[in-house]
Amino acid sequence: MLVYKNQEEIEIIRRNNLLVSRTLAEVAKLIKPGVTTLELDKRAEEFIRDHGAVPGFLGYGGFPNTLCTSVNDQVVHGIPSDYVLKDGDVVSIDCGTYMDGYYGDSAYTFPVGNVSDEVMQLLRTTKESLLLGVEQAIEGNRVGDIGYAVQMHAEKAGYSVVREMVGHGLGKDMHEAPEVPNYGRRGRGVKIKKGLVLCIEPMINMGTKYIKQDSDGWTIRTLDGKPSAHYELAVAVDKGKADILTTFEYIEEILKKKV
Ligand code: MG
Ligand code: MG
């Protein structure tokens, strides 16, 4: 069932997602060689609670933490731990909030120290493919138009698209219909209309598209051990142009200062 939101609901979802954006920026300040992923998680939880929300992931389906921290070959759903980030790592930070009855959900992949040009290119391409997908989130299009745009850009660069994990609707539930795959065919799939709020979240691998799950029951990693990148934005479908409810601006201001 597709749940359409009115403007008031969209504004609550926007507030949630802007808090996620600011939380990710707060985390960005701490990311450097020597910090553990659990330290990032603690800061995120504190920041979210200080701003009147609760962590959206904590306890969701039994997930033990506030952030998903997925390093290098980990695709998504990595559990924060005493793993110490090291120079050259990349870490996908996925964060959710819950406030006023609705969820926020967004993700960004961060370089740690000096990252190889090869891996930086994967990050850039994944973010570009997300933005191309976002452009397709307009009234009258279909979910396949989004997936097609993401897939074409990633595959043209020689990368592969994870199939098993997909984007989703967002609202009173963190995962609502429809599923939003990062692959697809133009003109296929569910028709999207104004009022639908979608999370678009490409997971793009440098090597094979195939993945496996760790014995912790959560962590997803690439089958070949090569790196993966993940970016996520929430958008409200609208006529002509999607209303992007998240922003990477706060994060990228911090990253610019670090260079
Ligand atoms: Mg997410
Ligand atoms: Mg999501």
Could you please report the per-residue DSSP string of 169-206? E-SSSSSEEEEE-SS--TT-S-B--TT-EEEE--EEES
Where do the H-state alpha helices sit in 31-76?
37-50
| Neighbouring C-beta atoms of residue 257, cutoff 10 Å | 9
Domains and their CATH numbers in the chain: 7-258 (3.90.230.10)
Q: What is the dihedral of CA 181, 103, 19, 231, to 10 degrees?
A: -10
Identify residues whose C-beta is under 5 A from ligand 1, the ion: 94, 105, 107, 232
pTM: 0.98
By three-state DSSP, how is residue 54 classified? strand
Tell me how far the alpha carbon of residue 144 lies from the centroid of ligand 1, in angstroms: 20
Pairing of β 197-200 and β 233-236: antiparallel
pLDDT in tens, 127-139: 999 999 999 999 9
Task: Please state the rounded mean pLDDT for residues 141-155.
Answer: 98
Task: Please state the rounded mean pLDDT for residues 208-236.
Answer: 98
Tell me how far the alpha carbon of residue 217 lies from the centroid of ligand 1, in angstroms: 17
Tell me how far the alpha carbon of residue 94 lies from the centroid of ligand 2, in angstroms: 8
Tell me how far the alpha carbon of residue 80 lies from the centroid of ligand 2, in angstroms: 17
Tell me how far the alpha carbon of residue 235 lies from the centroid of ligand 1, in angstroms: 13
Tell me how far the alpha carbon of residue 102 lies from the centroid of ligand 1, in angstroms: 14
Distance CA 25, CA 53 (A): 16
pLDDT at position 210, please? 98
Ligand closest to the CA atom of residue 166: 2
